[in-house]
Chain A
């Protein structure tokens, strides 16, 4: 058993029994759901919006190379730099070199899942740089020294009282200052000094606009705007798949992302950044760098079946509607991207052997596919991932043998009928003699928490044969 599987099983089991945690998450998602439903009403047709968004992103993915080159040319023409990072290490090294060259001592970051993906925070700290997360939720989990719980709302698992205690301990906020307003203002105050002194600002990107050659960043707090405005160097760290062909596509994608992500009609700051400070501008960074990360994405691109996962706009909606995510939360996955999209994408990016089990952590209910604003066929991809796990023989031996036996059993009706009848007898025998859910009970994974129907004396086919065929077929 791989270590990732083992830690997943432990964490998932623990989380599945943690009802208070589930309630916190459910309460938060209840608010989200109401906003989402109201948000979708703002569209004349939500399904048409999804359909067009899929078409646009599918085109972006199908012409990825051309669009990226177009994007790069425009950025370069304004004096910006574009770096193509093949791996996480390439991305980290480039940013660390840049920091060294610029004599940077402290870095201000705004939310970026790609920076989580390449473990940038740890790399910056390792190089002796102070790196502060400026998004409030991200800052809270940074103070707790844990990864984000959710790709859009990183601190959704925490209660206000926990955050108040954390701020008291780490920031020295007064004991009574525990309202959401107080805590937000404490973070704002703390962060203002960091913005002013940071030698480098690092943001992610929501979209890369090919025809305009600009990076689109969506946020509510204004921290990304500040990150892109105050420090002398601005670095955008993002994946190559974030391309959108046209500036005008944002008229759909900004409202779509906001609605799916938070239920808002549009987020507070929807910004486009195309370079460093230009001649005649009052302020802005001296240097502007875009780091385009591959890190396995081109491998996904080569997979015709699951290429559409590169359409993902990281809205988090599939997590929000996922009953498994509701139950085990974001940390149990042990990966940067959690929930359905994480369960589909992580095995593709990082291998079935270590992460294939995530595709099995789903009841395949399809709520993710139903909500996905770019129509990624998420739950069917989970089955395809499972197929690949089976083909690569990374599934447990009992399952592999069991499935062979299943096929053998079901390949002959008489064999099936005889053995199933025997199994019913054995099951009745077991029910009579083995306490349900006890360690001796082979069906314990089911019976530990659920009854199983008592096997009938007569199967349907036996009944049919007795009542219908004896009477000479149907009436």
Chain B
């Protein structure tokens, strides 16, 4: 087994005997490449609209009502369950939902997908209107399998750029085995370039963004 490793690394070393002097540019996505984001929240809103993320700006006072309204609209979903990431903030939020709402803190991909999942995120990216989740946000499947994915985030998690968001996620959840920058609902245009949402992942991506 290590034979292949030694051979390949040996060939690489031999091939690069004449290695040209190079250098790694700093700040590869800096102002010379992307114009700086002036107003991160406004940009995030605009990008979400463009990539079809449903964004709700909420406060402590109206977040439960907003979530209830979002969930009331969902029709699909086998057993009608909403999977909720087991986190204090989400437990508290779920407790304020109407009594009839079935919630489950253990996401089980083997069961029929429920209505939706409700998770936290690691960070938000204004430039692209994206949500950065990790495997610590309820697991890997919770953010990709259900027909609707609802993200509960705070405005303080908003970063202008992708690199800042990635570094924030790595320092918050250094041992996570997966990070995923999600930009809008799942989509494909493999058939005659026609856009269809919900190819394999969620058909709807909703962000509840606490601004208070």
The answer on direct contact between A and B (beta carbons under 8 Å) is yes
Interface residues of A (CB under 8 A from B): 27-28, 31-32, 42-45, 48-49, 52-53, 55-56, 58-59, 62-65, 68-69, 78, 83-86, 90, 134-137, 140, 153-156, 158-160, 163, 180-181, 183-185, 187-188, 191, 196, 212, 214, 220-223, 225-226, 228-230, 240, 245-252, 254-255, 262, 265-284, 288, 292, 294, 298-299, 301-302, 304
Which residues of B are in contact with A by a Cβ distance under 8 Å? 1, 4-5, 7-9, 11-16, 18-20, 22-25, 28-29, 31-35, 47, 50-51, 106-107, 109-110, 128, 130, 135-136, 138-145, 161-163, 166-167, 170, 175-194, 196, 198-202
Query: CB within 8 A of A298: which of B15, B106, B143, B191?
Result: B15
Please state if A226 and B200 are interface contacts (CB–CB under 8 Å): yes
Q: Which residue of B lies closest to A214 (CB)?
A: B179
Contact between B161 and A302, CB atoms less than 8 A apart: no
Q: Give 10 closest A-B pairs by Cβ, nearest first.
A: A222-B201, A282-B139, A137-B190, A302-B15, A221-B199, A251-B29, A251-B163, A229-B140, A298-B11, A301-B15
In the bound complex, do residue A160 and residue B167 qualify as a contact, i.e. CB atoms below 8 Å apart? no
Q: Which residues of B contact A284 (CB under 8 A)?
A: 135, 139-140, 177-178
- Find out whether the CB atom of B109 lies under 8 angstroms from the CB atom of A301: no
Are B201 and A225 touching (Cβ within 8 A)?
A: yes
Query: Which listed residue, B106, B166, B176, touches A248 by the CB 8 Å rule?
Result: B166
Q: Please state if A43 and B34 are interface contacts (CB–CB under 8 Å).
A: yes
A366: min CB distance to chain B, Å = 24
Residue pair B107, A282 in contact (C-beta under 8 Å): yes
* CB-defined contacts of B196 to chain A, threshold 8 Å: 180-181, 184-185
Q: Is the CB of B163 within 8 A of A153?
A: no
Once the chains are docked, how many angstroms separate the CA of A221 from the CA of B198?
Answer: 7
| A292, B141: Cα distance in complex, Å | 26
Contact A283 B191 (CB under 8 A): no
20 contacts between A and B (CB under 8 A): A45-B33, A52-B33, A63-B22, A65-B9, A140-B191, A220-B188, A220-B189, A225-B180, A226-B145, A240-B8, A247-B163, A251-B166, A268-B184, A272-B178, A280-B175, A282-B107, A282-B139, A283-B139, A301-B11, A302-B14
Q: Which residue in chain B gives the minimum CB-CB distance to A54? A: B25
A288: nearest residue on chain B (CB-CB)? B177
Bound: A226/B136 CA distance, A: 16
- State the CA gap A156–B190 with chains docked (Å): 7
Known: A45-B32, A59-B23. A180 touches B194 (CB 8 A): yes
CB of A28 to closest CB in B, whole Å:
5
Contacts of B162 in A (CB 8 A): 250-251, 254-255, 266
- Name B194's closest neighbour in chain A (CB-CB): A180
- Chain A residues whose CB sits within 8 angstroms of the CB of B193 once the complex forms: 27-28, 31-32, 156
B109 A196 Cβ-Cβ under 8 A: yes
Cα(A90)–Cα(B50), bound, Å: 45
Query: Does A160 contact B191, Cβ atoms closer than 8 Å?
Result: yes
Known interface pairs A154-B190, A188-B198, A281-B136; A196-B183 also in contact (CB < 8 Å): no
Other-chain residue from A69, A188, A271 in contact with B178 (beta carbon distance below 8 A): A271
Given contacts A135-B190, A248-B29, A265-B183, 19 further A-B contacts (CB under 8 A): A42-B34, A45-B33, A59-B22, A65-B9, A160-B191, A188-B200, A220-B189, A230-B145, A247-B166, A252-B33, A267-B183, A272-B166, A273-B177, A273-B178, A275-B177, A281-B136, A281-B177, A284-B178, A294-B8
**CB within 8 A of A274: which of B20, B142, B178, B184?**
B178
- How long is the Cα–Cα vector from A240 to B19 in the complex, in angstroms? 17
Closest Cβ neighbor of B198 among chain A residues:
A188
Closest Cβ of chain A to B187, distance in Å, is 5
Measured between alpha carbons, how far is A159 from B194 in the docked complex, in Å?
Answer: 11
Name which of A84, A158, A288 has the most chain B CB atoms within 10 A of its CB: A84
The complex places the Cα of A398 from the Cα of B187 at a distance, in Å, of 53
Given the interface contacts A44-B31, A255-B128, A283-B109, does A68 sit within 8 Å of B177 by beta carbon?
A: no
Complex interface: chain A residues within 8 A of B186 (CB): 220-222, 268-269
Give Cα distance in the complex from A271 to B141, angstroms.
Answer: 13
Tell me whether A64 and B33 are in contact (CB under 8 A). no
Give which listed residue, A58, A278, A299, contacts B135 with CB less than 8 A: A278
Q: How far is the CB of A24 from chain B (nearest CB, A)?
A: 8
B19 contacts which chain A residues (CB < 8 A)? 62-63
Closest residue of chain A to B164 (Cβ to Cβ) is A251
Q: How far is the CB of B9 from chain A (nearest CB, A)?
A: 5
Q: A183: nearest residue on chain B (CB-CB)?
A: B191
Q: Closest Cβ of chain A: how far from B159's Cβ, in Å? A: 10
**Is B28 a contact partner of A251 (Cβ separation < 8 A)?**
yes
A369 to B: closest C-beta gap in Å? 20
Question: How many whole Å from A68's CB to the nearest CB in chain B?
Answer: 7
**Residues of chain A with a CB closer than 8 A to B176's CB:** 274, 278, 281
The answer to whether B183 and A222 have CB atoms under 8 Å apart is no
* A251, B8: Cβ atoms closer than 8 Å: no
